[in-house]
Amino acid sequence: MRKIKLIWDFRGPDANKIAEHHEIHLKEYIIIEKLPYNITGFEIKNELYAIAYMVVTDDYMTIVRDALKPHRGELYE
């Protein structure tokens, strides 16, 4: 089954802190919704750009996408 990395982009001087904090909410969502994977994270791309992400399977992608509105997604390997 394919895994999809759903990504939220954050830009600006507070991007790093916002992405780090957003990951906390993604983890909470996974617990509340009892999703099968608990893969989340945040990455600092540079001082003005960071991302937060969570990994879901095809079965949950549409549900999570519609509920949490990620900015984009990509295949997770």
pLDDT in tens, 17-27: 999 999 999 99
Position 57 scores a pLDDT of 95
Report yes or no on whether pTM surpasses 0.85: yes
Our measurement of the distance from residue 35's CA atom to the centroid of its chain's CA atoms, rounded to an integer in Å, reads 13
CA angle 26, 48, 25 (to 5 degrees): 10
H or E element at residue 49: strand 49-57
Residue 59 pLDDT greater than 90, yes or no: yes
Q: Report the C-alpha gap between 29 and 35 in whole angstroms.
A: 8
